[in-house]
Structure 1
Amino acid sequence: MHDDSTDHNRHPALMFELITRDQAKLKAFYAAVFGWTYETGASGFAYVHFGRQPRALLGGIGQAQPNTPGFEPGHNFYLEVDDLEATITAAVAAGGERFVEPAAVDGYRFAMIRDPERNPIGLITKFQS
């Protein structure tokens, strides 16, 4: 999957935001499913720090397929997990739902869930890039 000609790509995604209707509920969901802790910033914004990760990142642009879950127009982000099924089970138990079943493509395994506000959240296992 890795092509040396892509080493020149710049401007990787470094931050994401979830703007929620119920911040306390989603903070509890992400803490339960992913173990996140938060640092409160200005106006109560809850920051999630991940620390330095000296590794390759992956991004992409795909064609919308409105009848295929996960391929609606818009944007997605993916969180690295060790076990797709265990994470999906934890998400459902915390009030989320299954969205895209686990699959393998182009050298990586992924799935998608929806949080309690129905935001799609991608899950991806470690991959070689």
Structure 2
Amino acid sequence: MARFNYVELPVRDIAQAKAFYAFAFGWDFSEFGPDYAATTSGDTDIGLNGDAAHWTAQLLPVIEVRDLEATLAAVEEAGGTITLPIFAFPGGRRFHFRDPHGHELAAMVSEAA
């Protein structure tokens, strides 16, 4: 069975992007050269691509979290911008935000959480 396991985001500043995601979500990154860093959890990972020659179209990655309100506060404190406040949807609640590079992402909790 196929499953979603990776999201790659184009970024202008690898260090800034790593700092944002480390602060907001507690993620650790491995370096793969001067223009690339990625989480290597073995689950769904995120890559930060600093090489503009290899950038692709943007998707809406959704990050599952334990505490939606605390995550919203951490995203704002880390320099993110909330684009859609917390709302309910079938199966849970979520909000959308832009990271400092302008990527739109969502953070969500499931109803079971």
* TM-score range relative to shorter protein: 0.7 to 0.9
Show the counterpart of 2:13: 22
| Aligned-CA RMSD value | 2.0
Give the number of aligned pairs.
99
1:110 Cα offset (Å): 1.1
More strand by share: 2
SS at match of 2:85: strand
**CA–CA distance in 2 between the matches of 1:46 and 1:114?**
19
Q: Which runs of 5+ in 1 are unaligned?
A: 1-9, 54-73
Tell me if the contact between 2:5 and 2:43 (Cα under 8 Å) persists in the aligned partners: no
**TM (normalized to structure 2)?**
0.76
1:116 equivalent to 2:100? Answer: yes
Show the counterpart of 2:79: 95
Q: Which structure would you say has the larger Rg?
A: 1
**CA–CA distance in 1 between the matches of 2:4 and 2:35?**
23
**TM (normalized to structure 1)?**
0.68
Alpha-carbon displacement from aligned partner over 1:62-116 (angstroms, at most 9, x marks no partner): xxxxxxxxxxxx6211011111121111111111111111111112211111111
Amino acid of the residue matched to residue 91 of structure 1?
A: V
Q: Work out which of the residue numbers 63, 86, 89 in structure 2 matches 1:105.
A: 89
1:44 Cα offset (Å): 4.3
Question: 1:23-102 maps to which residues of 2 (within 5 A)?
Answer: 23-52=14-43, 75-102=59-86
Q: Which runs of 5+ in 2 are unaligned?
A: 45-57
Amino acid of the residue matched to residue 106 of structure 1?
A: P
1:12 Cα offset (Å): 2.1
SS at match of 1:124: strand
Amino acid of the residue matched to residue 93 of structure 2?
A: R
Identical positions, percent: 32
